[in-house]
Structure 1
Amino acid sequence: MMARRLHTFGYELEQMTVPFVVADKAERNGDKHFLEYLADGRRFTYREVHLITNRIANAMRHRGLGSGDHVAVMMDNCPEQFFTYIALAKIGAVSVPLNSAAKGVLLTYLLAHSDTVMVVLESNYLGRLTEIADTVPAIRGIFVLPDGTDRADTSGNSWVIEPYDALLTGSEAGPETAPAVGDLAMLAYTSGTTGPSKGNSLAQGTVISYGCTTAESNGYRDDDTVYVCLPLNHANALLCSVFGAWMANAAVALSRRFSVSGYWGEVKRSGATVTNVLGSMMNFLWSSPASPEDRENPLRVCNVVPMPAFARDYEQRFGLRLISGYGLTDYCLATVYSTLAPTSKLGSSGTPRSGVEVRIVNEADAEIPTGEVGEIVLRSNNPWGTSQGYYKNAEATLAANRNGWWHTGDRGYLDADGYLWFADRKKDAIRRRGENISSFEVETVLLRHPAIADVAAYPLKAEHAEDEVAVSVVLVEGQQLSEAELIAFASANMAYYMVPRFVRFMADMPRTQNQKVEKYRLRQEAEADTSLMWDREAAGIEVKR
């Protein structure tokens, strides 16, 4: 039996491109409010978003950017970041959202692997680019948005550097280019598990499909305001929240970033009715002192992944409904636990979304009985509704998509009513405060230090029941390295959230017969005796963004 097709809000398949949908929504909604930037109060209507992004698109075309060119975007949440993604899609260019914490070796890899030729960033991050200029010769130009910080010295390179405002000088007429629904629109990088971060190839239709899926299954309404405090360089915020609101004719209240102390104040001031948070964020909000005013907020729905154990109490305390789901940028949004689901299923990831099938299989890819834990595999019959594979990595794409099903690397089970219950991750990744961290990338960076002979990175549970990055390190014979020196090296060469918290120096590590490090034993030893691990936070060493 085929799964029900996704609701596309009246658009034919050929029309599901960013430029067509943005123009159509602007025509239909006109001066209806769409976006408010809470940091400075700027507001934009549907029509203004369309015209501004036309100007940026045409200015980019005037500077030689066009179909198939890859442009990296390195910003914290702001309207200009969203406008840039829309404008690039309008001219058929490919946006490469970068985590603004990336630097050093990691930043070099992302820019080089993505074939980036132009970068749009805030001035605060220009220095990180100049530090690695020699390693990314393909970049020919940069647009810089002032953010109140000093501008880095760029005199030593040949880049064409222009202020972001120069992009606002283009014509308001729609660009002449008309990308097709299957044209590449975005490379969304997610953490590698057995190798470097992978770039997920998202077509024009995929971007729109994410918005349709979210709006339909999460029940967005045209009178909703979606509060967005997650970073727009992640699919959750950009493709689900913002594009979901766009498809539902709703509004967005955009925060600069998540803040425990400022969260409820922004929600109340913006009148937000819907939001998305991560489990670690909810832990902090739940741990804040209770107040008689907790229920005095406009939220009706909050999407959270994973669902916390205190979910029912959270709903009662703050007077809202929690929803959840399961999905991955590598493929699609797969299941949803919505407001229509029975409360007895709270804690599950819900049932399959429109057009998606879910199975649980064993190591031989045979479907296993209800209630048994196995690997979660997915299949979608929504054209262009999934990632089109890993960029420049056909081998990994084929391996994941074997036997006609996408293999997630995650484990779970289906109950008798068809609800998915997540069990654990097969993947060698570390989940810390909403960020998926590749242990391989942590290890690769640290191995560049001349005193380090071998290193293994793995997760350790700490406060708030979430993972922290731990490393066991073997030094080169005769070399010396302190924990603080290791942290300083890591801080200079990787994103702040990847920097290890726990460090253990060892003469050697437990290994298999083929010399693979047995990380599970390292983790077991550390959990059994915490004194084995040096703790960065206990040592008072702070890692800055």
Structure 2
Amino acid sequence: MSITALEMNLLRRQNLGDSLRRSALAAPNKPAIIYYTTDGASRSVTYAELNRKANAVAHNLMQRGIAKGDKVAALSRNSIEFLVLGYALHKIGAWLVPINFMLQPPDVQHLIDFSETKWFFVEDALLGNVAPVLDKLTGVQQFVQFGPSPSRPAGWMAFDELLPGPTHEPEVLIESDDVAILLFTSGTESAPKGVLSTHANYCAAQLSWSMNMGVAQDDVFLVSIPLIHAAGYVLSTLCLTNHATIVMTQAPQPVQMIELMARHRATGTALPPTLYVALLACPNFKTSDLSCATKLITWASTIPRAMVDGWKEVAPNARFYSGQGMSETTASLLTAGFVSSWAEMPNGDGRWVGTLLAYGADVRLVDDEDQDVPVGMAGEQIIRGPVVMKGYYKNAEANERAFRGGWFHTGDVLFRDAEGNYFFADRKKDMIKSGGENVYCQEVESVLGTHPAVMQCAVFGLPDERWGEAVAAAVIARAGSTVTEAELIEYCRERLAGFKTPKRIFFRTSMPISAANKLLKRELKAEYAKALQA
């Protein structure tokens, strides 16, 4: 008897849904997710329970007409149900389409229409993001509500209605290079950039993370970054593939995060510097036992010395894993490395993003003609490898521009030293042009961030009649410290070229951040440009 196409597919494929089944077989009774809402309510699910729920939802979706290649969107904060839905879709070959819950209703409508979503899952607390445009979402065949609220709009289904029924493994022919997730990097552009990540992409990203950073079965990871973003989803599926336990919060609430890390003896977490700094200021930070932490993953911006020094006081066993990647690389880091203290930070430079890694991608730094730049010179990072996305959704122009020459052009500017250390200079689009000279924001931030009175800083350009753009910085000072604008400008002048030295420094108590807790420099630029014009 000859083997069927489905049997051959099941025999050899890479699929995110299959990875959960294998974990459930290996560790059925182990806690997979311990979940906490913002008000402190908690519940947990074992690996076997999580897999059964995903199978049940998969069968119910298929019975109701969802098939391979269909798009299913979800607008939600972190929850067990979000991951159940994701794995259910992976098992049947449908696409998960996460929607940013910080978007305004017209932007939500735009992404739902653009993605051709058939079913739309919405958290009960976020119905306001959808209600004003609900009558315009005519392409959606079924709305489903996440959450415990007993009330919901007419015609909507409760998520729990998808749980009863068969729980055996669905068997659908899904190729490794089929799309698993359509993730939007922006929701307000006229032609939004939707990243198409495949099952093979996610499996490659998980393998790269496991090989280079390491996730053990006895690890306990705090996941507070949003699942709607690539980093949150990859971290969660990475932990679940490796039989680790996730302590998940509905949203990143610093006091709660510290308490849960201590209570569950969390061995690691992954946060951008903005959140690590926010946790430092919490009243329970220095009184909590965080000696359990061994892996503190970070990315997205310059690491301030205050962050490293502050965390080492309460988490003496921790190592910081600094790296750099993007949604288009399936949140797989392209360069990364461990440091245990600021003394180990190469060149004392918080822009350090490690060294080249095993497996994930080839990396080059090139000039505007795609020629390799020498050591010490900044160049755009271009890459190729199994973690690179399949392409941008419905955007041939962006694909042609990004994939030219057989390499993916990231738009990130880095430089490396003679020892092979890589440092993040800037995004090409964020670079400041001051007096005809290029200024990389993160170079200035790396200097400001070493001042003993600076807890956090962000550098950006402001319109200037003389310079075209003037270098400016927003600063959050360390608690109990006193420093002036003139003192910080002089500190930078002693360490930077004149054209790189900030012309203005603005003091703040907080920074504007996105749902992924990344600094929103565009908001700082708009705020201070308007203030200076007043």
Residue identity in the other structure for 1:23: R
In 1: Cα distance, 2:80 partner to 2:59 partner:
18
User: Structure 1 pair 426/192, CA: closer, same or farther in 2 (3 Å)?
Assistant: farther
**Residue number among 352, 373, 376 corresponding to 2:356 in the alignment:** 352
Aligned to 2:242: 248
Aligned to 2:389: 387
In 2: Cα distance, 1:429 partner to 1:198 partner:
21
Structure 2 length as normaliser, TM-score?
A: 0.75
Residue 309 of structure 2 is aligned to residue 313 of structure 1: yes
Q: Deviations over 1:205-248 (max 9, x none)?
A: 22222222222222211110010011111111111x21121232
Residue identity in the other structure for 2:371: A
In 2: Cα distance, 1:182 partner to 1:391 partner:
15
The SS at the match of 1:223 is coil
In 2: Cα distance, 1:102 partner to 1:291 partner:
32
**Residue number among 210, 218, 225 corresponding to 1:223 in the alignment:** 218
User: Structure 1 pair 263/142, CA: closer, same or farther in 2 (3 Å)?
Assistant: same
- Residue 202 of structure 1: CA displacement? 0.8
The SS at the match of 1:378 is strand
Q: Write out aligned runs for 1:256-267 (5 A).
A: 256-267=250-261
Q: Deviations over 1:450-471 (max 9, x none)?
A: xxxxxxxx99753449xxxxxx
Residue 133 of structure 2 is aligned to residue 125 of structure 1: no
In 2: Cα distance, 1:407 partner to 1:500 partner:
23
Residue identity in the other structure for 2:133: I
Aligned to 2:110: 109
- Residue 66 of structure 1: CA displacement? 1.0
- Residue 123 of structure 1: CA displacement? 1.9
- Structure 1 residue runs without a partner (length 5+): 1-11, 155-159, 432-457, 466-496, 505-522, 535-545
Asked if 1 retains the 8 angstrom alpha-carbon contact of 2:258 and 2:284, the reply is no
Q: Write out aligned runs for 1:134-149 (5 A).
A: 134-148=135-149
Aligned to 1:273: 267
Residue 373 of structure 2 is aligned to residue 373 of structure 1: no
The SS at the match of 1:427 is helix
In 1: Cα distance, 2:132 partner to 2:68 partner:
29
Aligned to 1:8: none
Aligned to 1:65: 66
Q: Which moved more, 1:226-235 or 1:421-430?
A: 421-430
In 2: Cα distance, 1:141 partner to 1:131 partner:
17
In 2: Cα distance, 1:129 partner to 1:408 partner:
33
Asked if 2 retains the 8 angstrom alpha-carbon contact of 1:267 and 1:297, the reply is no
In 2: Cα distance, 1:296 partner to 1:338 partner:
18
- Greater RCO, CA 8 A, separation 6+: 1
Asked if 1 retains the 8 angstrom alpha-carbon contact of 2:319 and 2:340, the reply is no
Aligned to 2:480: none
User: Structure 1 pair 131/201, CA: closer, same or farther in 2 (3 Å)?
Assistant: same
Q: Write out aligned runs for 1:331-346 (5 A).
A: 331-332=329-330, 333=332, 334-338=334-338, 343-345=344-346
Aligned to 1:45: 46
Q: Write out aligned runs for 1:205-224 (5 A).
A: 205-224=200-219
Asked if 2 retains the 8 angstrom alpha-carbon contact of 1:117 and 1:138, the reply is yes
Aligned to 2:16: 18
Q: Deviations over 1:452-493 (max 9, x none)?
A: xxxxxx99753449xxxxxxxxxxxxxxxxxxxxxxxxxxxx
Residue identity in the other structure for 1:408: T
- Residue 358 of structure 1: CA displacement? 1.4
Residue 203 of structure 2 is aligned to residue 201 of structure 1: no
Residue identity in the other structure for 1:371: G
Residue 474 of structure 2 is aligned to residue 462 of structure 1: yes
Q: Deviations over 1:283-334 (max 9, x none)?
A: 2223345865355442111111235221441342122221111101123421
In 1: Cα distance, 2:76 partner to 2:370 partner:
41
The SS at the match of 1:338 is strand
Q: Deviations over 1:223-279 (max 9, x none)?
A: 10010011111111111x211212322111101111122221011122211100111
Q: Between the two proteins, what is the percent identity of the paired residues?
A: 26
Q: Deviations over 1:376-402 (max 9, x none)?
A: 11121x3xx321010011220121111
The SS at the match of 2:180 is strand
- Residue 352 of structure 1: CA displacement? 2.1
User: Structure 1 pair 459/303, CA: closer, same or farther in 2 (3 Å)?
Assistant: farther
Structure 1 length as normaliser, TM-score?
A: 0.73
User: Structure 1 pair 360/61, CA: closer, same or farther in 2 (3 Å)?
Assistant: same
Aligned to 1:95: 96
Residue identity in the other structure for 2:373: I
Aligned to 2:460: none
Q: Which moved more, 1:90-99 or 1:347-356?
A: 347-356
Q: Deviations over 1:334-374 (max 9, x none)?
A: 11113599924373111222222211111111001011012
User: Structure 1 pair 373/148, CA: closer, same or farther in 2 (3 Å)?
Assistant: same
The SS at the match of 2:163 is helix
User: Structure 1 pair 193/164, CA: closer, same or farther in 2 (3 Å)?
Assistant: closer
In 2: Cα distance, 1:203 partner to 1:192 partner:
21
The SS at the match of 1:308 is coil
Asked if 1 retains the 8 angstrom alpha-carbon contact of 2:58 and 2:91, the reply is yes
Asked if 2 retains the 8 angstrom alpha-carbon contact of 1:145 and 1:163, the reply is yes
In 2: Cα distance, 1:289 partner to 1:259 partner:
13
The SS at the match of 2:391 is coil
Q: Which moved more, 1:81-90 or 1:207-216?
A: 207-216
In 2: Cα distance, 1:87 partner to 1:362 partner:
44
In 2: Cα distance, 1:54 partner to 1:122 partner:
21
Aligned to 1:78: 79
In 2: Cα distance, 1:230 partner to 1:296 partner:
19
Residue 162 of structure 2 is aligned to residue 167 of structure 1: yes
In 1: Cα distance, 2:104 partner to 2:531 partner:
32
Q: Deviations over 1:110-132 (max 9, x none)?
A: 11111111101112233432321
Q: Deviations over 1:91-137 (max 9, x none)?
A: 11101011112232211111111111110111223343232134332
Asked if 2 retains the 8 angstrom alpha-carbon contact of 1:378 and 1:408, the reply is yes
Residue identity in the other structure for 1:351: T
User: Structure 1 pair 339/244, CA: closer, same or farther in 2 (3 Å)?
Assistant: farther
User: Structure 1 pair 324/499, CA: closer, same or farther in 2 (3 Å)?
Assistant: closer
In 1: Cα distance, 2:476 partner to 2:523 partner:
15
Q: Which moved more, 1:367-376 or 1:344-353?
A: 344-353
Asked if 1 retains the 8 angstrom alpha-carbon contact of 2:215 and 2:244, the reply is yes
The SS at the match of 1:42 is strand
- Residue 65 of structure 1: CA displacement? 0.6
In 2: Cα distance, 1:315 partner to 1:292 partner:
9
Q: Which moved more, 1:327-336 or 1:78-87?
A: 327-336
Residue identity in the other structure for 1:337: G
- Residue 170 of structure 1: CA displacement? 2.6
Residue 159 of structure 2 is aligned to residue 189 of structure 1: no
Aligned to 1:405: 407
